[in-house]
């Protein structure tokens, strides 16, 4: 039985939302939020009291919108919680041979770079993913030099004679590269 992502039952594509918390400056200026968490998969959008939409709704009725996602993370979610809830299982699936694509999307200053890269003290999903990948494959490294890639997806195991031939070819190419580099360096 293969492990499946907790997000997978909804289909092949999961859309996760992370609500960015207000900055200290935004809080000091008294900005009002327009996104509220309904549950772990839904948010409600309501225009701030100071917006034109809010003034119009007094006469035309309330304009509340509800949006549903695979998973919603509130402003208090940590980088680790976000990684655990969105990336850990897809990375494990990738290590088992499944294809995965992750991308961030949002307006400028929405927190994409912070979520993806993080800071030195609180790394994002990319460094956490790389850490998980390298820790997992660390014990699986193939240290012999007897494999040769063919095409883009396959490889063949080389005999000892083929390894010698490949090594000789590599060394002659390296020598040639050095000679050409030396030639152009002397021409200057």
Binding-site residues: 106-113
Binding residues for ATP: 106-113
The token duo for 139 is 């014990």
DSSP, res 143: -
Q: Would strands 154-157 and 42-45 be described as parallel, antiparallel, or unpaired? A: unpaired
Provide the token pair at 120.
């030195």
CB 125 within 8 A of CB 102: yes
C-alpha 70/C-alpha 32 separation (Å) is: 26
> Mapping DSSP to helix (H, G, I), strand (E, B) and coil, where does residue 73 land?
strand
Q: 133 with 91: CB under 8 angstroms?
A: yes
Rounded Cα gap, residues 116 and 110, in angstroms: 12
The owner of tokens 């790394």 is 123
Q: Residue 43's CB: how many other CB atoms inside 10 A?
A: 19
């Amino acid at each position: 039985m293969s492990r499946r992502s907790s997000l997978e039952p909804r289909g092949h594509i999961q859309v996760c939302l992370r609500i960015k918390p207000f900055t200290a400056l935004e809080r000091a200026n008294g900005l009002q939020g327009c996104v509220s968490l309904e549950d772990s998969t839904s948010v409600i959008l309501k225009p701030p009291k100071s917006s034109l939409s809010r003034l119009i709704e007094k006469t035309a009725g309330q304009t509340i919108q509800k949006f549903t996602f695979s998973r919603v993370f509130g402003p208090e979610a940590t980088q680790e919680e976000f990684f655990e809830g969105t990336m850990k299982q897809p990375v494990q699936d990738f290590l088992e041979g499944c294809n995965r694509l992750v991308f961030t999307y949002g307006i400028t200053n929405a927190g994409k770079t912070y979520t993806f890269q993080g800071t030195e003290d609180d790394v994002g999903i990319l460094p956490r993913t790389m850490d998980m990948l390298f820790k997992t494959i660390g014990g699986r490294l193939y240290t012999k030099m007897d494999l040769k890639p063919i095409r883009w997806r396959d490889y063949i195991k080389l005999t000892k004679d083929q390894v010698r031939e490949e090594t000789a070819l590599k060394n002659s190419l390296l020598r040639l590269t050095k000679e050409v580099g030396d030639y152009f360096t002397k021409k200057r």
